[in-house]
C-alpha cells in the first residue's frame, strides 16, 4: 500500500524523539510512504518572505521548538514491529521541494567556534534543473540530497530525546551517503518501531563543520520492511557499492572504535572471516569518514566496499 504525508502542525514533532508520542499513521511492512518535509526556524520565515509555504508558517507559529530544532514527520507506526526486530528503510527517491534552503552558523557551536564567534545565516538558491546550490559567493555547489535526521523511537526509559544527537535509534546521523538507492537498518526498541523523518539536506561535506548543511524542505519515497531474524545494536546502512557501519560518541576516537568493531563483527557473521583477517581488511580496504562533528555526539562511519567479496 502507498501512503503520503505533507508536513503540517498535526503530523510533526518539533525537535524530539519520544516513545510516548502517539503515532500519526500506521503502515505495514512492505508499504511505501511518500513524505514532504519542511525545514527551518522563525528567522528563515523573515528571510524568505512569501516563498515560505503556508504549512511551514503554521508549524513555526503553532508548535514550540523542542529540545532540538528539527521538524520531523512522525512518529509512524510499523504494524508488527516489536522490540528486538530490525526495521529496514529503503530510500527510493529524495529531492528538494522548493527553490530555496539555508545555511548558518552561530556563536559557541560548529567546528571552529573560536574563529567565528558571531551569527550568520544565508538563504541558498536551489536550481533543481541544473542540480546546484548558489548563495551568491561565486561558487555553485552540486546537489546531493538526503535526509539528515531519521530513525525509530529510543527506548521508552530514555523519555523525550532531543533531535540534536545521533544514537542507537538513529536520529541526527547527518550521513551524506544515505542518498536515493540506500537502505538503512535500525534496531527496534518499542512496539511498532515509531519511525520519524526530517531534516532535508540538499548537500553536505563530511563533518558538517559550520553546524548546518544546505538545510531544505525535502520530498522522499520510503519503503519499510521488518526483519524478525536480524539483530542490531546500532544503525547500519547499505548502498549499491558499500556496507556502512556507524559509530556515535562524544569522543571521536571512541566513535571510530565503535564503527570498526561493527565492521569486524559484520564480516565475521556474514562472510565467516576470521576476526584477525577482518581487522586487516579494515586497514587495507575500509574508509573511515567523519560523519559530523557538530551535534555534541560525534559520528564516524566505516565504508566497507562490496566488490572485495565478489
Would you say 175 and 300 are in contact if contact means Cβ atoms under 8 Å apart? no
Q: Tell me what pLDDT residue 310 has.
A: 85
Q: Tell me what pLDDT residue 58 has.
A: 97
Q: Tell me what pLDDT residue 297 has.
A: 97
Cα 170 to Cα 182: distance, rounded to the nearest angstrom? 15
Q: What domains sit in the chain, N to C, each tagged with a CATH number?
A: 2-233 (2.60.120.580), 241-309 (3.10.28.20)
pTM score: 0.96
Quote the DSSP letter at residue 22. P
The C-alpha cell at 47 is 528571510
Cα distances (Å, whole numbers) of residue 256 to 211, 250, 251? 21, 11, 9
Predicted confidence pLDDT, tens digits, the chain (310 residues): 999 999 999 999 999 999 999 999 999 999 999 999 999 999 999 899 999 999 999 999 999 999 999 999 999 999 999 999 999 999 999 999 999 999 999 999 999 999 999 999 999 999 999 999 999 999 999 999 999 999 999 999 999 999 999 999 999 999 999 999 999 999 999 999 999 999 999 999 999 999 999 999 999 999 999 999 999 999 999 999 999 999 999 999 999 999 999 999 999 999 999 999 999 999 999 999 999 999 999 999 999 999 999 8
Would you say 299 and 248 are in contact if contact means Cβ atoms under 8 Å apart? yes
Cα 168 to Cα 188: distance, rounded to the nearest angstrom? 9
Amino acid at each position: 500500500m502507498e501512503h503520503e504525508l505533507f508536513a503540517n502542525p498535526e503530523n510533526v514533532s518539533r525537535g524530539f524523539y519520544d516513545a510516548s508520542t502517539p503515532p500519526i499513521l500506521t503502515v505495514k511492512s512492505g508499504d511505501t510512504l511518500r513524505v514532504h518535509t519542511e525545514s527551518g526556524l522563525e528567522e528563515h520565515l523573515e528571510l524568505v518572505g512569501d516563498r515560505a509555504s503556508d504549512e511551514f508558517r503554521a508549524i513555526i507559529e503553532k508548535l514550540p521548538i523542542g529540545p532540538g530544532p528539527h521538524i520531523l514527520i512522525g512518529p509512524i507506526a510499523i504494524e508488527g514491529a516489536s522490540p528486538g526486530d530490525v526495521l529496514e528503510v529503503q530510500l527510493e527517491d529524495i529531492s528538494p521541494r522548493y527553490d530555496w534552503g539555508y545555511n548558518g552558523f552561530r556563536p559557541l557551536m560548529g567546528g571552529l567556534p573560536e574563529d567565528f564567534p558571531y551569527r550568520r545565516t544565508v538563504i541558498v538558491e536551489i536550481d533543481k534543473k541544473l542540480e546546484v546550490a548558489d548563495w551568491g559567493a561565486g561558487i555553485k555547489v552540486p546537489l546531493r540530497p538526503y535526509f539528515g535526521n531519521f530513525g525509530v523511537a529510543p527506548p521508552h526509559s530514555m523519555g523525550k530525546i532531543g533531535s540534536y544527537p545521533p544514537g542507537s535509534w538513529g536520529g541526527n546521523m547527518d550521513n551524506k551517503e544515505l542518498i536515493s538507492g540506500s537502505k538503512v537498518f535500525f534496531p527496534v526498541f518499542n512496539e511498532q518501531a515509531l519511525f520519524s523523518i526530517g531534516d532535508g539536506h540538499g548537500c553536505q561535506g563530511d563533518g558538517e563543520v559550520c553546524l548546518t548543511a544546505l538545510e531544505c524542505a525535502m520530498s522522499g519515497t520510503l519503503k519499510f520492511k521488518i526483519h524478525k531474524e536480524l539483530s542490531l545494536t546500532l544503525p547500519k546502512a547499505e548502498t549499491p557499492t558499500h556496507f556502512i557501519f556507524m559509530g556515535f560518541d562524544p569522543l571521536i576516537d571512541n566513535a571510530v572504535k565503535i564503527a570498526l568493531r561493527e565492521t569486524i563483527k559484520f564480516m565475521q557473521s556474514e562472510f565467516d572471516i576470521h576476526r584477525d583477517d577482518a581487522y586487516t581488511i579494515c586497514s587495507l580496504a575500509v574508509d573511515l569518514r567523519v560523519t559530523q562533528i557538530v551535534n555534541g555526539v560525534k559520528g564516524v562511519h566505516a565504508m566497507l566496499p562490496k566488490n572485495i567479496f565478489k
